[in-house]
Every structure is written in structure tokens, then in C-alpha cells.
Amino acid sequence: MATDPSALGAPDPDGLDAIRLTWNALPRSKLEASKCVIPLAACISPLRSNPNVVSLPYPPLRCKQPCLAILNPFSQVDFNAKIWICPICYSRNHFPPHYQSISEERIPGELYSACTTVEYSPYESNPAAMPVPPPPVFLFVIDTCVIEEELEFVKSAMRQAIGLIPDNALVGLITFGTQVHLHELGFADLTKIFVFRGTKEITKEQILDQLGLSGRNMGPMGPRGPHPQVNGFNHPSGAVNRFLLPASECEYTLNTLLDDLQTDQWPVEAGNRSIRCTGVALSVAAGLLGACMPGTGARIIALLGGPCTEGPGMIVSKDLSEPVRSHKDLAKDAAPHFQKAVKFYDALAKQLVSQGHVLDLFASALDQVGIAEMKVVVERTGGLVVLSESFGHAVFKDSFKRIFDVGENALGLSFNGTLEVNCSKDLKIQGVIGPCTSLEKKGVLCAESVVGEGNTTAWKLCGLDRSTSLTVFFDVSPSERSSQPAHANPHAYVQFVTSYQNPEGQLKIRITTICRNWVESSVTEELVQGFDQETAAVVLARYISLKMEMEEEFDATRWIDRSLIRLCSRFGDYRKDDPASFNLHSNFSLFPQFMFNLRRSQFVQVFNNSPDETAFFRMILNRETVTNSVAMIQPSLIAYSFSAPPTPVLLDVAAIAADRILLLDAYFSVVIFHGLTVAQWRNMGYHNQPEHQAFAQLLQAPQEEAQIIIKGRFPVPRLVVCDQHGSQARFLLAKLNPSATYTTAHEVAPGSDIIFTDDVSFQVFSEHLQRLAVQS
């Protein structure tokens, strides 16, 4: 998504290709690669908008089977023979007839050397062949087991959304509590609701049967027979119109329904949670979409107000005496419903992926709602997830609105994406971390070891947007022949092919081809030059998160420490056993700090958070750009004072001063922290006095900055405005390096602050690192 404010003015670190590798120079051998400690990985943002990307109105040209790589600037072209050589597999391909007119003077866009990234619009040159773009589908799934007040918030958010939805978009509504209510919007006579029970798992076929959509019960009304496939998607037939209506037609009905919508009417026994059948509700939604619109871009937008307490997907029993599972329970395997729920949602994810549909979660509750279990669905389908405390909270309200925004700030929600990766055969693909699902397209390019969604060279991205980011892990695995210098090709190529339907429903194919150099094992310098420490930190964070989820007993902190030590030993400049001599190249200099903060971050220190929060944080971490992800690991801190223009300051408790305002951007939250004096002045109302204009401006500046941050970010971060020594100040203090704690209180500069913690400070951490790195 959009641009990170901190990067404003600076050149886009992601560049035209929006691809960042941990190592931009590749170690030649497996051994060398393992010595590099940080895995070779690429963070890609396939839909990142960039005005410089060339759009080509014809379909791409592919290499022959099995390579299928696409013609790109790195191909060698023989203009006379009309032949091109694929840089990845070295195959020679004849240009097809319509390329016959190319010459050195007349070369197509995809061969321009600057056009490492191009976008094809295959139908643009031949609009007649293009299918009518299917309308987007929004199926709202609303939890009614909430208090009246929350429901009112939901209603007002929904009303607003209905006003924003494009007229042609199809809209459906499901409400649920103890039971699932599917509203038949196309029924004019009275409010008609299909009711499904919350206790029973229900298959897609059953749903179709019961809704009369399967053709079995249709009688003469509509023998649907085999779905009429029109270029991969179904035209909404008559039956569909019962449940999914163009927004323009059902606006009135929807508004009436919302007006009449009540909280769940089933009684809640004392000492019990509401009975809430989120699992079945989502099943029904998925089933309905499957029946109506397989293959089109449809999103299930679920608004959840609490945990699923009944039926499939249940995460906690309705008995209040049973608490919702914590990390501790999960670690001890003491969460009785967890595995079952995950299994259910896993199946749901498979169904949605096969249909190409997306699940978005908007969870607004003080307690957990089960995001940890539902994570699999959201992540596999590329859905959005927003976590807030209340439907009345700005985090929900603004985020929800953003989905329907158009123009500058639009999320650019696209559908039905697939990602294919082609690469030189000395590279193998281990897998992908991010919002996607393996398409299980196995091949020679698949590495033996798997990271994330692996064992494939193609992935499905049901939903993706401008900020969607994926991390592709590579394994260096040179063949015997290629490792011999004589045959060595100095370049490695990787091509990313992303096809998708843009928000308007048009098919697009974006191709990015990158070329990097192999580095002979001995030349450390080149490796160092090619190191991207930000990307490395982010990749490591994602990798660790995954390992923490997948591997029991995985000690993340220890793993980070050892990796860091090994990295420093390998690339540091020092004399053996002399910590004082330790020095790091500037390309590495920030890395220890990143690791220090990663160790302390919500991604590693999960016990401060609920499993839902952790799942939420990790999902966002996995799908965000490198720049944004870095902010999650190591927040940025800007100081505002009279004495100087806004300046980035160290993320350290020492940055606190009585006459300063600090702006912390920790990605999920944005904190404006007023120093003691500033707060006092403000409380006395100086900023309202004309003679203290400057003070008013000082107060205003961080606010404006915060708004810019908030505006460009999804999910909308939580804005915390606090004063020194106030209770909300913890949002800042928790992120700061505890260079001053209660043990060092006497050394603290006046006006600054201390942090009550036993955590080590970065200084101590560095000392230890240096000592261990230089150990022989």
C-alpha cells in the first residue's frame, strides 16, 4: 500500500520491480549459502503500483514447455532469425507471426532493458474476446451476538458501506448468532430468511440442495445442469439473484433489513457466553458463493463480535468458566478445541481457494474471537484482517470504510491471482510465506526443503491488493556442471509472473524478471555489498514466526541470538577474541539492532499477547512490504521540540524529555507522547493563546504526521495520544530500549524516564554480541 511516510522523498527502496532480496549477490555454493546465515529470499509486492510500469495490450509470449518463462529484457534476440533465447532455460524460441516485424529498431516493450517489469492486458487489443467483467461480490456475514450498542455501530458502518458499494456489485447478507440467517434479498413480499442451525457442520452440497440451488429441487424452474462456464466464471443465474443482488437493486431492502436487525434472540443462560456459530455461518457463506459464482471475485466480509462457541470452528465452550485458550494453553496442548477448529477452517480455506473467494475478518471484541484458528482461511485466501476492541472504534470504522474506497486511497482489491516463479536452475524454490496457497505445481525448480507454501512453483492468490507482499525462499543448489567455472553463467535470473483480475474485473498479467550475479565463494566483499539488512530482518522475522507456529519447542530468542552471532562472526571485521576490535560494515550495522528489537517484539514475545493478537500481527507481517514490516519490528521514533525540526531519534528511553513530543510509529499503533512540560502547558491551554502560536503548532505537527500515517495504512493503526507518566504511556515505553531502568535510575537525565524492566538494554546486548562474535 501506498507509500511509507518515512520514505517520502527518498527513492522508493523497492524500486520499479518492487522486489527486495536478502542477498543481491548470490553465493555460488550450497556451503557458502549456509555460511551466509540469512536465507536467500525475495520479498515481492506484485501489485505495487508504479507509474513507470509499462502496460502492454497483448498477451505475453512464453518459452516452450516446460519452462514457460515469458519473453523479457534479458532474453537474447536474434532479430534476423526472429529467434529469442530464454535466459532461464536457454531454449531457442521462434517468434510467432505477429512478431515478424520486430527489428533492432522496432522492439516490443517487454524487451526494453528498463522494462524488467511489464504488465500485459491480454484483451485490451481485442476487447471483443474479453468476457464481460464479472461484478465484484460482497457477502456480509454479521455477528448478532453482540450488545445493542455494538450492533448499532455495525449497522451504521454497514449503511455507510452500502452507500459506497459500486452499483453493479452484488451484495448478500448473512447474519448469525445461535443460528445462521441467510437473507433472501430478492424476495419482495416479506423478509425471507433461510435459517441454518449452528451445531451441525454442513457441506457445500447440502447448502446448495437446501437453498434449491443445486438443480435437484428446482423442478421446471431452472434445470441448471452443469454450470455454464463462461471464461472461468458463472453468470449469475436467476437462482443467484435470490441471494445476491446488485447493490443498486437491494439498497432499500438492505437498509430495511438493517433497521430491523435485532441482536440474537436466543436466550443466553446465566454464566454462559452467547451461542455463536461462526463456523457454520462462514460455511454457509462459502457454500452460497460456491454455488452462485465459482471463479469470480467474491469476498466474504465477516464482522465478528466474539468467539465461536458452537458447532464446527468452535474455539471455546459456551461455559464462561472455561477461558478462551491462551498461548500457554496452546503450548501445553491444553486447548481442547484448537486442533479441531483449525482443521475445520483448513477445509474451509481449501474450499474458498478452489472457488477463488476471499474471507475478510473484522473482529471487534474485547475477548478473542478465534483469529488464531481462522488465520489459515484468511491467509490462504489473501483476505484482510482487522482487529479492534469495538465496532465503534476508529480502527474498525475507518478500516471497514477503506475497503470500499475508490481512487487514490483505494486498496486496489484484486481477485483470482496466480503467481508463478521461474528461475535459473541453480536456484530452487523452497516456498512462499504470505497470503497465498500452493497450486501444487511441482517441478524441477522445487527445492527439497520446504518453507511455507512449498513444493510448487505456482500459487493462488484469491485476493490481493496493492500492498500484498510475499516472501519467496530460494535454495542455492548448483548442479555439478554449472559449478565449474568454464560453464558458469555469471547471472542468475528469476521471473515472477502474476496474473489477476483488477478491481474492474480485467485480466492482467504482470511480469517481473530480475537478474543477479553469482559470487564466487571466496569474495566476501561482494556478498556484503549485496546484503539488504532491512529485508533480511523482515525475512528473518517471517521465518521465525513460521517456525514458532510449525515447530514445537522452537526457542526463537536463542535461534536469533545464534544466527546473529554467526552472521557477525562471518561478516564482522574484528580480531579474534578482541571484542573491542569488532566492527560491522554499514550494510550490516543496523542488523543487530533489528534483531534486538525483533527479540522483544510481539512476533517473538508472544506471551504478552493473546493467540488472536499474535495471529493478527503475523498475518500483517507476512503480507506487508519490507518497509512497513521493518516498522513493526523496529518502530520509528520522531521527536518534536522547539529547539529543532522534527528529527528521528533513537528508539530509546533516553529519547524522552519533558519538553519534547515524541511520535512513535509501531505500525499497529501510532503513539503521540507529550513530555511532562508540554503536557502541563497544554493542560493550561497555552496553545489557545495567540502569543503561543508556536506551541500550538508544535502540538499540531505530530498530530498531522500521525494522520498521514494512519491514512495510508491498512488496517488503520490505533492512535494513542498520551502524556508522560500517564497510563497510556506504556504503548511507548514498551517499545523503547530500556537503557535506563529502575536499577540505573540515579543516572537518568532530568525530564527523561525509566522503564521498569529486567530486560537487557541494547548496550548490554551489543557487548555480549561482540564478545561472542569474536570468540574463536
Partner 1 sequence: MAPPSGPPGVTPSMIRAPPSQLGQTPLPGSPLSNAPPYIAPPPGRPMGAPAPYMANPNPNPNPNPVSQPPQAGPPAAAAQPNPVMGLAASLQNSMIGTPASQSFASRPFPSTAQRPVSVPFSGSLNQNPLGSKGSGPFPGQPASQPYPGPPALASQPVRGPPQLFPGQIVGQPPMGQPPMGQPPMGQPPMGQLHMGQPQMGLGPMGPPSMAAPPMGAPPMGSAAAPFSGSAWQGQQRQGGMLAPVRMAPAGMGQQSMVSTPGAVMGYSPHAGAQVGTPSKIDPNQIPRPVPSSNSSVVYFETRQGSVVSPPPPATSDFIVRDTGNCSPRLMRCTMNQIPCNGEILTQSCMPLALMVQPFALPHPSEEPIQLVDFGEMGPVRCVRCKAYINPFMRFIDQGRRFVCNLCGFCNDTPRDYICNLGPDMRRRDADERPELCRGTVEFVATKEFMVREPMPAVYFFLVDVSMNAVGTGATAAACSAISQAISDIPEGPQTMVGIATFDSTIHFYNLKRSQQQPVMLIVPDVEDVYTPLQTDLIVPLGECREALEQLLESIPSMYQTNKIADSAFGAAIKAGFLALKPTGGKLLVFQSVLPSLGIGSLSSREAEGRTNVSNADKEPHKLLQPADKTLKTMAVEFAEYQVCIDVFLMTQTYVDIASISVVPSTTGGQIYYYYPFSAVSDPAKLYNDLRWNLSRPQGFEAVMRVRCSQGLQVQEYSGNFCKRVPTDIDLPAIDSDKTIMVTFKHDDKFQEGAECGFQCAILYTTVHGQRRIRVMNLSLPCTTVLGNLFRSADLDSQFSCFLKKAANGIPTTPLTQVREQIVNHCINILGSYRKFCASISSSGQLILPEALKLLPLYTLALIKSVGLRNDGRLDDRSYWASHVASISASLAVPLVYPRLISIHDLTSMEEGDSVLPAPVALSSEYLSDEGVFLLENGEDALIYVGGMVNPEILQKLFGSPSLEGVPSQLVLQQFDNDLSKKFNEVINEIRRQRCSYLRLRLCKKGEPSGMCFHSYMVEDKAPGSLSYVEFLVHVHRQIQIQTKSN
List Cβ neighbours of 398 (8 Å cut-off, separation of 6 or more): 710, 716
Separation between Cα atoms, residue 621 and residue 639, nearest integer Å: 26
Residue 225, interface with partner 1 (CB under 8 A)? no
C-alpha grid cell, residue 495: 521471473
Q: Please, what is the minimum distance in Å from the beta carbon of residue 237 to partner 1? A: 15
Going by C-alpha positions, the residue among 336, 316, 332 that lies closest to residue 324 is: 316
Which three-class secondary structure string do you get for 565-628? Answer: HHHHHHHCEEECCEEEEEECCHHHHCHHHHHHHHHHCCCCCHHHCCHHHHHHHHHHHHHCCHHH
Q: Binder to partner 1 among 97, 220, 226, 407 (CB under 8 A)? A: 220
Span from 182-190, 300-308, 372-380, 468-476 in contact with partner 1 (CB under 8 A): 182-190
Q: Binder to partner 1 among 217, 489, 697, 707 (CB under 8 A)? A: 217
Residue 181, interface with partner 1 (CB under 8 A)? yes
C-alpha grid cell, residue 703: 498530530
Residue 191, interface with partner 1 (CB under 8 A)? yes
List Cβ neighbours of 677 (8 Å cut-off, separation of 6 or more): 658, 659, 751
Span from 95-103, 211-219, 293-301, 583-591 in contact with partner 1 (CB under 8 A): 211-219
Q: Binder to partner 1 among 218, 394, 488, 760 (CB under 8 A)? A: 218
Closest to partner 1 by CB, 214 vs 506, is: 214
Residue 442, interface with partner 1 (CB under 8 A)? no
Q: Binder to partner 1 among 131, 166, 212, 726 (CB under 8 A)? A: 212
Residue 268, interface with partner 1 (CB under 8 A)? no
C-alpha grid cell, residue 226: 452443469
Residue 192 identity (one-letter amino acid): K
Span from 122-130, 219-227, 586-594, 624-632 in contact with partner 1 (CB under 8 A): 219-227
Q: Do the beta carbons of residue 53 and residue 513 sit within 8 Å? A: no
Residue 270, interface with partner 1 (CB under 8 A)? no
Q: How many residues belong to the site for partner 1 (CB under 8 A)?
A: 30
Closest to partner 1 by CB, 242 vs 623, is: 242
Residue 582, interface with partner 1 (CB under 8 A)? no
Span from 39-47, 203-211, 417-425, 629-637 in contact with partner 1 (CB under 8 A): 203-211
Quick check: bond before 135 cis, omega within 30? no
Residue 203, interface with partner 1 (CB under 8 A)? no
Start-to-end C-alpha separation, the chain = 45
Residue 243, interface with partner 1 (CB under 8 A)? no
Closest to partner 1 by CB, 105 vs 189, is: 189
Span from 42-50, 261-269, 494-502, 522-530 in contact with partner 1 (CB under 8 A): 261-269
Q: Binder to partner 1 among 104, 189, 480, 552 (CB under 8 A)? A: 189
Q: Please, what is the minimum distance in Å from the beta carbon of residue 218 to partner 1? A: 8
Closest to partner 1 by CB, 220 vs 645, is: 220
Going by C-alpha positions, the residue among 672, 631, 667, 638 that lies closest to residue 655 is: 638
Separation between Cα atoms, residue 285 and residue 276, nearest integer Å: 15
Q: Please, what is the minimum distance in Å from the beta carbon of residue 197 to partner 1? A: 5
The SS3 of residue 333 is: coil
Q: Binder to partner 1 among 49, 50, 91, 210 (CB under 8 A)? A: 210
Residue 267, interface with partner 1 (CB under 8 A)? yes
Q: Do the beta carbons of residue 724 and residue 679 sit within 8 Å? A: yes
Residue 200, interface with partner 1 (CB under 8 A)? yes
Binding mask 473-512 for partner 1 (x = CB under 8 A): ----------------------------------------
Closest to partner 1 by CB, 287 vs 435, is: 287
Torsion angles phi and psi, residue 642, rounded to 5 = -70, -30
CA atoms within 13 A on the CB side of 170: 27
Q: Alpha carbon of 400 to those of 305, 545, 653: distances in Å?
A: 14, 27, 35
Q: Binder to partner 1 among 112, 266, 554, 607 (CB under 8 A)? A: 266
Residue 206, interface with partner 1 (CB under 8 A)? yes
Number of other CB atoms surrounding residue 88 within 10 Å: 25
Q: Please, what is the minimum distance in Å from the beta carbon of residue 225 to partner 1? A: 16
Closest to partner 1 by CB, 272 vs 766, is: 272
Q: Do the beta carbons of residue 113 and residue 85 sit within 8 Å? A: no
Torsion angles phi and psi, residue 429, rounded to 5 = -95, 125
To 10 degrees, what angle do helices 247-260 and 148-164 make?
170
Residue 265, interface with partner 1 (CB under 8 A)? yes
C-alpha grid cell, residue 72: 523479457
The SS3 of residue 731 is: helix
Q: Alpha carbon of 521 to those of 20, 34, 306, 669, 773: distances in Å?
A: 22, 11, 55, 43, 21
Which three-class secondary structure string do you get for 202-227? Answer: CCHHHHHHHHCCCCCCCHHHCCCCCC
Closest to partner 1 by CB, 152 vs 209, is: 209
Q: Binder to partner 1 among 170, 211, 676, 769 (CB under 8 A)? A: 211
Q: Binder to partner 1 among 105, 148, 260, 758 (CB under 8 A)? A: 260
Q: Do the beta carbons of residue 337 and residue 372 sit within 8 Å? A: no
Q: Do the strands 298-304 and 358-364 form a parallel or antiparallel pair, or are they unpaired? A: parallel
Going by C-alpha positions, the residue among 65, 109, 69, 108 that lies closest to residue 86 is: 69
Residue 197, interface with partner 1 (CB under 8 A)? yes
List Cβ neighbours of 558 (8 Å cut-off, separation of 6 or more): none
Span from 13-21, 64-72, 190-198, 604-612 in contact with partner 1 (CB under 8 A): 190-198
C-alpha grid cell, residue 467: 500492498
Span from 193-201, 549-557, 645-653, 683-691 in contact with partner 1 (CB under 8 A): 193-201
Closest to partner 1 by CB, 165 vs 213, is: 213
Residue 193, interface with partner 1 (CB under 8 A)? yes
Closest to partner 1 by CB, 312 vs 383, is: 312
Q: Binder to partner 1 among 8, 128, 129, 190 (CB under 8 A)? A: 190
Residues at the interface with partner 1 (CB under 8 A): 178-179, 181, 184, 187, 189-197, 200, 202, 206, 209-212, 217-221, 260, 265-267
